[in-house]
Amino acid sequence: MFVLVQEGVEARYLEGLPAEVVVLPKQGPLPAEAAQAEFAVAPYGSARRFFEEIPNLKALKVVQTLTAGVDWILPRLPPHLTLCDGAGIHDVPVSEWVVGAILGAIKRFPEFRDAQREQRWAYQWVGDLEGSTVLFLGYGSIARAAEKRLEPFGVQFIRVARTAREGVYGFSELPGWLPRADVVVNLLPLTPQTERLCGAEFFARMKPGALFVNAGRGKTVDQEALVEALKSRRLRFVSDVTDPEPLPEGHPLWSLPEVFFTPHMAGSTHKLFERGFRLVREQLERYRRGEPLLNVVTPEKGY
C-alpha cells in the first residue's frame, strides 16, 4: 500500500509507517506510484499542488489532515473520498496558547511590553484569574485540554457547543450564559451554522469589560460588530485568527486598544509533525486492518 506525503516532511516522522511513502513534490512530475496511493496526508500549509493532482490520484480513498479545522479542504474534495481531521494533534499547543492568552491579557503583558519599548515605567493595577468564570464556545478536545490547564487557577466553567449533552449547553442557551462569563473562549470550527455567530447581539450580551479570546476561526466572528464593540470599550480581545488572514494594512484591529493577536500560529510548534504522524501511523494501521478510522468528517458531526 502507498501513502502520499508532502515534500519536506523529515524522514524521522515517516519511520515505521505501515505503507510505502510516495512524496508529492512541490514542482515537477508526479511519481508514478502516486496513482496507486490509497491514503494521502494533506499538506500542512499550501495545498495548491495537492488539489491540482487529485484527479490523477486514481486509487485515493482516504485523506488525513494535520489540522483540526477542515473548512479549507472539505469543499474541494470529491464526495467519494473519506476525510479525517486532525482532532487531538493540536490539543496541547492550542490549549497552552489559550491559557497564555488569558493570563497575558489579565496581567496586561502586551501593554507593559509596549511601555518597555517606549522606556516608560507604566505602573498599574491588574486583574486575577482566580475566581473567574470562563465560557468555552465549542467544547471539543482542545477545550477539554484548556479546561484541564485552567482548573488549578480556581476557575469556574460554562460549556456551550452546537450539540447539547451532559454538562454542555446548546447554542440556544448561549444568550443566557454570556452575561455571566468573565472570559469567553471561542473554539468553534467554521461551518454554515457558526459563520458570524459572534455578532452584535453576542457582544452586547457579554459582561462589560469581559475578555473575548478567539482560537477558532476568524469567520465565526462578525468583524464589523467586533470592531464596534472594541471601539465602545465594551470588551477586550485576544485572538490567533482574523478575517481576512493576513490582516490587511490599515485594518482597525491593528491599532484599537485592548487588542492583541498572533498570526494564526497557536498550533505551530516544533512537535506538530511528531504528533501528526503519530495519528497518521495509527490511521494507516486501522486502514490496513479494515477497522473504523478515527476523526472521520461527516455531515452528522456538523461539518
Give the residue numbers annotated as catalytic, written as ranges.
Answer: 217, 245, 264
Looking only at the bridges linking them, the beta strands covering 183-186 and 210-214 are parallel
Cα–Cα nearest to 144, from 193, 98, 206, 189: 98
| Helices of type H across the chain | 11-14, 48-53, 91-106, 109-117, 141-150, 174-177, 200-205, 223-231, 272-289
Cα–Cα nearest to 150, from 124, 113, 182: 182
**Residue 298 has which C-alpha cell?**
461527516
154 secondary structure, DSSP code: T
* CA pair distance 199, 208, nearest whole angstrom: 15
Rounded (10°) CA dihedral 137, 140, 142, 143: 40
* CA pair distance 23, 62, nearest whole angstrom: 16
Residue with cell 483540526: 68
